[in-house]
Amino acid sequence: MTQISQQALETAVREYRDPYLEKDLYELGAVKNLTADENGKVTLMVELPYPSKGIAGGLKQIVANALENVDGVEDADVHVGQKIHAYQTQKDIPSVAGVKNIIAVASGKGGVGKSTTAVNLALALKAEGARVGILDADIYGPSIGMMLGVPEGKRPDTRENKYFVPMEAHGLQANSMAFVVTDKTPMVWRGPMVSGAVMQLLQQTLWDELDYLIIDMPPGTGDIQLTLAQKVPVTGAVIVTTPQDIALLDGKKGIEMFRKVDIPVLGVVENMSVHICSNCGHEEPLFGHGGGERIAEEYDTTLLGQLPLHMTIREQTDSGLPSVVAEPDSEVARRYRDIARRVGAELSTRERNLTGSISSVSVTEH
């Protein structure tokens, strides 16, 4: 029987380059074990540092094929898992119990689809194998409950008359100001009250071992947003914009606001990039073209993805079944999952928070 060269095996594994981090599996520190037995069976254990369920099958197949081409290898068994760590927050603000990473989803102005993006990003991260929660910090127009199909008037359970138990919706842990006040109560609050209420919701919710907590921020870049950005231990921010010049201008303000408080901007999501006609499928850039790319280039950040202006996205979200769960195999869901992997991969390049909670491991493919 041919003696299998360990070096040849490692060279075969190095042929695969991660599509998001553009490194091989050894450079990523993702190879946990690579062994060959006397019968020519090779076993490889891979652990990626970001939510990656959607690409695990492809990785497994590509690497197994490469290993089986090595002299003496009869069979290759590749296991792909993921391990999500806690990463550093701005100025080392103490982390929130039960939460590893907080991602703020923000926009410089309203009406650009920020909440829709926040909900679908949270669901996409979950679909990619992460434990995810969402907090609706948009005090004046909380919409996350409706988008997740939480019945109107439903209230979260409490513990010790002090803590909220997050609502479960489509596998997400969720909390929102809308769950604790009625929609008949107008939010006539000054800035400090708003940021105080958000901090209370954040810290008094019993989040259960989350890899990521998505915070749907209030639109704009005023005092409320700045105060929240300074007080909430945010690991990274995602800016939502449309290709329209005025929205891009506001999107730039959003990036500058987060940079001012040392929060890394993970990238830009361009919403409503093209209109797709529901009758004929014709695509037309109603709000302009290439704006997201320009802003990402100007601020040396990433264009995470572009999403079409399509009636079904709005209809599905309004009905409490966002696109990622309503049509998991659709082009829109595929784009959101690609954005989720990109966000997780970008975050995995940051410095780790060694005081954070223990990393979770989930094996996704055998």
Binding residues for ATP: 108-115
Tokens 């979260």 correspond to 156
Which positions make up the binding site? 108-115
DSSP secondary structure of 264-303: -EEEEEE-S-SEE-TTT--EE-TT-SSHHHHHHHHTT--E
* Residue among 259, 221, 215, 266 nearest 239 (CA): 266
DSSP secondary structure letter of residue 316 = H
- Looking at residue 171, the DSSP 8-state letter turns out to be T
Residues 6+ apart with CB under 8 A from 128: 51, 52, 53, 54, 337, 340, 341, 344
Q: Are 108 and 252 in contact (CB under 8 A)?
A: yes
Would you give the DSSP letter of residue 237? E
- 146-148-151 Cα angle (round to 5): 55
